Amino acid sequence: MQTSYSSAFFTILKRDLTIALRHRDDIINPLLFFIIVVSLFPLGIGPVSNTLMKIAPGVIWVAALLATLLSLERLFKNDHADGSLEQLLLSPCPTFILVLAKILAHWLITGLPLIIIAPLLGVLLNLHQDSYTALMLTLLLGTPVLSLLGAIGVALTVGLKKGGMLLSLLVLPLYIPVLIFATSAIDAASMNLPYNGQLAIIAAIFFGSLTLAPFAVGSALKVSTN
């Protein structure tokens, strides 16, 4: 039974990754948006290194948050349009396993490229040299939370024709704690202060989301597709 569950998980994961590779705009658009938003700040503020250094953590994290939000709507939209979402919900495999596979695929498509490109954009914003480790750790723990919590909003609005604005209203308040503690950790690192507490809180949010979000998404999808 466990083998069949793991097989279903990796089948859905492989399917979503394959579809994303065929439609490269799913990968490129959020990444380009992330790069453009971050790049505009030095142009608008000017090459004042101290100012850029102060705003760098917030700019990078807000841009990552918005880039993730930009890509969320496609998480279940195509499956809902072609009827495959109903097939997934009727599958004998527990819904939360299939949902978790789709969320992981979304993070690999959206979150992982953001993590890879973030240090280069940190250089552009003159991010403090002691902050790069904190930046990478917060993104590594925080971006999966964005995908997990965002999936709940997507599941609730998947049946709506124009649910983009409602999705933003539902999801953005859930993102605020991650944003606050992530930027606080990076700021603390730049001042050579300990930031283990902020990382621990983000990790707790991550594990809590990982445990509860797939079940919430599964229930929301069943309600939205009825």
pLDDT band at 3 (very low <50, low <70, confident <90, very high): low
**What span, in angstroms and rounded, lies between the C-alpha atoms of 214 and 208?**
11
pLDDT of residue 184: 94
Contact between residue 91 and residue 98 where contact means Cβ atoms under 8 Å apart: yes
pLDDT of residue 94: 84
Domain residue limits at 194: 2-225
Q: Which H/E stretch holds residue 73?
A: none
- Length of the chain, please? 226
pLDDT tens for each residue of 35-84: 999 988 888 887 777 888 888 899 999 999 999 998 887 888 877 777 77
Proportion of the chain above pLDDT 70, given as a percent: 97
Assigned token pair, 120: 């280069």
- Of the ranges 3-12, 124-133, 175-184, 212-221, the best mean pLDDT one: 175-184
Q: Kindly report each contact of residues 106-109 with a partner whose C-beta sits within 8 Å and lies 24 or more positions away, as own/partner.
A: 106/16, 106/71, 106/72, 106/75, 106/147, 106/151, 107/143, 107/144, 107/147, 108/17, 109/16, 109/17, 109/20, 109/26, 109/27, 109/71
- Of the ranges 87-96, 147-156, 199-208, the best mean pLDDT one: 199-208
Q: What angle do CA 74, 77, 78 make, to 5 degrees?
A: 95
pLDDT of residue 226: 67
Which residue, among 144, 169, 168, 181, has the nearest Cα to 58 in the 3D structure? 181
pLDDT tens for each residue of 167-198: 888 899 999 999 999 999 999 999 999 999 99
Total count of domains within the chain:
1
**What span, in angstroms and rounded, lies between the C-alpha atoms of 218 and 207?**
18
158, pLDDT greater than 70: yes
